[in-house]
Structure 1
Amino acid sequence: MALPGRLVATLVTTVSLTLLGAVGTTLPAHAAPQRTAEAETAPHRPLWTGTWATAPSHAVPALPGTSIRNVVHTSVGGHAARIRVTNRLGTAPLRIGALTVALQTPGAPRSPAAVPGSLRPATFRGAASVTVPPGRDLLSDPVRLRVPAAANLLVTLYTPEDSGPATQHRSALQTNFLARGADHTADETGTPYTLTTTSWHYLAGVDVAGSGARGSVVALGDSITDGSGSTSGANRRWPDRLAARLHALPPHRRLGVLNAGIAGNRLLLDGTGPSVLARFDADVLSRAGVRAVIVMIGINDIKGTPAQTDPAAFTDAYRSLVARAHDRGVRVIGGTIAPYAGHSGYTEAREAVRQSVNRFIRDGEVFDGVADFDAAVRDPGQPNRILPAYDPGDHLHFNDAGLQAMADAVDLAGLGVRTPQGAGR
C-alpha cells in the first residue's frame, strides 16, 4: 500500500537542518518505499539514509513492565536519527510507553551504560508514547543526536503492559539488556539493566539525516547474512565487513549497509520469518535511501523440508524480485549460493540444484551484477565444500575469515559507488 503523496512529502519537508518537526508515521508490513520526495528532490543524496536495520523473524511472549535496551551498530553517521519500531509480527496493538536513543560507552559492547549527556528522548508526532497497530512498523520523529559511523547506539523502549506477541529478531549476535518493573529508558548508568538477551525486540531500523552518503544497500538473505558463525558482539557479519570497506571511501561515496538476513529464512516458503518473496517490500523497498540490494538466498529451500528441487522456481522468484526492485529504481546484485558438502542436508541431487541456480545467477543476465560468494569461499580442491580455513565446523556457515572473504567479493562499483581505480573489490 503506497503512502499518500501529501504524507510522503510531509515526512521530508517537515524535517530540516534547523527545525526537526514531528514526522512519526505508521508503515504497513508491505509498505511501498518513499519514492517521490527523496528521489526527486535529491536523487544522489537522500535526506534520510538507513544506517542500521534488522528483519523481524519471530513472535515471542510479551515483556510487560519491561525496559528493553537494544544495542545496534551504525554503518554511516549523521546529525539526527529516527527509529523504526515494529509490531509487524504482533496480533494486538503494541503500546510503547517511552523510547530513548543514546551512544553506548565506547569499547564496552556488553555494557548497558550510555555516554553521559548523549541520551535523548524520542517522540511520535510530539508524544512520548505511541500505539503501533499489529502488522505495522512506525517511524519516530527525528531525534537531535550526532551519530558517529561504526558506533554502537542504545535504543531503549518501555512496554508498560502485555500487548500480545512481541516482534523480535532472534539471532542478534549482540548482548542486549532488560530492566524489569518500571520505565528505565532515561537511565544513563545502565544499573537497572540486570538481565540480558541475545535478541532485538520491537526494533527494525535506524535512519540518519545529514550523513552525506549516497544512500544505502540492503543485504538480503538467511543465516549466512545474519552472521551465524561469526564472533558475537564483534560486528563481523559479512554486511558489517562490507560497511567497513565502504567506510574507507570518501563520505560522499559511501553507502549505509542494512542487514535483512534471517537465520533459517527461505526464498520461496514461509517458515522462520516470512519468505523473501513475502518480505521484500517491507525489508528492502521501504527502507530509507535504498539504492541497491544484494540477494543471497536459497540454501534453506534446497536442503530444507520440503526441499525445493525445481531450479525454475528459483529463477522465477529471482526475476520477480528484480522486477519489483527495478520498478523502484533499485539495483539488484545476485549472490551465488555457497557450497555445503559435509552438512547433514547435503545430497548430490540437491547439489545439482545449487549448481543450476548458480549458473543462472552468473549467466542469466537478470541481475545488475553478481557477487560470486560461491567462488570466494569454496575449496578449490573440493568445490562442493567450504574452504577449511573458513569453516566453523558445520560445513554450512562461515567464521570471521570466511565472512570477510564474502564481503571482499562484492564489487563496490556494482553498487553504483565510484571508487579509485582498482579499489572496487
Structure 2
Amino acid sequence: MSRASWSPVRALTAAAVCTASLLALCGPAAADGPNGVDDLRGAPPARTEDLLDEPGVQFLPRPGVPEPPRVSALSWIVTDLGTHRVLAAKDAHRPLPPASTLKTLFALAVLPKFSQGAVHTVSAADLAGIEAGSALAGIKEDMPYRVADLWHGVFLSSGSDAVHALAAMNGGWGKTIDDMQATAERLGARDTTVESADGFDTPGQVSSAYDLSLFGQAGLTNRDFARLAATRTARFPEDAGPDAYGIQNTNRLLVGSHGVTPYDGLIGVKNGYTSHAGNTLIAAARRGGRTLLVTVMNPQSGAGNAVYEEARALLDWGFAAAPRAAAVGVLPAPAPHGRPGTGTGPAARQAVTALHPAAADRPAGRTGDLIVWSSAAAGVVALAGLGAGLWWRRRRPAAQEDGGGPAS
C-alpha cells in the first residue's frame, strides 16, 4: 500500500481512537461532577480523603456556597441523604452520650421482628428496672397493648416503659442490648457502645453524630420507622378498654411547641435529653425532592430550645448549600435486607429513591459509567476499523494498477 493510500486509513483510525478516548474519559464526567450530580461546572479538584476523622468544623469552601452557621453544639453533621454526601460536620466521631436518640438504634434492631398488629400483655417483670426520672408513655401492668401502640410510646413519648415492654418481647433487656450492638456494627457505627436500650445515662454508653446519622438514615428506609418518626400525635390505650388519651411527639421541631416553630418539610426523626447528655436531636427534612439529615449533640449556649434552633439553622444552610457544596465525607448506604455491605444493590437504591426521588435518574456509580462509556468507545473503534477495511479493499485494485504495494 502506497503512503498516499495509507495516510487516509491512518487518519481515520487516529480520529476513531481519539474519539473513543474522549468518550471514555469525558463520558463519566458528564454524568457526574466531582461534587455530585447537582454541580458539573466550576468544581474544585475532587478530594478523596475523608475529613470526618479530623477535629473541628469540616467544610470545603467553594464560590457561591455560604459557610455553615456557627452553632454551639459539641458535635453536628449535615448529610444529603439522596447522595449520602456529608456537606459539613463538626467532630463527627466524637463519642458522646446519646440520650433517647439511641432509641433509633433500638427501633432498627427490634421493629422488624413483630407485626404492628400483634398484641402483648405487659407484665410487672416487663417493667422492672426502669430508671427513676425516665420518660414514660404510661403503660400499665396486666394490660394488653398492640405493638403499634408500644411503638407510639417509644417514638412520640420517648417512653422507657414502652422500650422495656418491647425488649421483653424480644427476649429480654440483655439480649436487646446485644442485638442493638450487633446492628450498630453491621451499619458501620464504630463509635457506639450500648449499655442501656432506652438511651438512659449509663456508664460507658456513647455514640456520635456520625453513628446517629447512620441510624437515622437506615431507619428512614424502613416504612414503619419513617411513619412513626413523622407521627405528630396518636391515641394511646387506657384501662384495657375503648378509652384512649392523646399523646404528642416530644420533637418540638416536628410539632411546634414550647416556643419552637415547626420546620417546613420535617419528617422526623428523634430527640433526646438527659442531664449528662444534654439535648440531642436527629432531624430529617424534605424539600423540592431533596432530603437532608442533621444530627446535633449537646448545644452549649444554654438556650432552652438550642438543639432545635441549631438544627433549623443547619437544615436551612444545607438546603441552600447542597446543590454546589463539596463533600467532606460520605455515609455508607444502608445494606439491603439487613445484610452487611455498602448497600448499592436494587433494594438499597429503591429505598434511597423513596427518600430522594431525583436519585432515580442518577447514574448508579462511576464504575457503571465507565463500563457504558468504554463499551461505546469500543464500538466506535470497531466501526472505524470496519470502515477503514472496506475502504482499503475498494482501493486495493487501483493501488496495484498504479504499481503500489506494502510500504518497504
TM-score, scaled relative to structure 1 = 0.21
Higher RCO by CA contacts (8 Å cutoff, separation 6 or greater):
2
The structure number with the bigger radius of gyration is: 2
Greater helix fraction, Structure 1 or Structure 2: 2
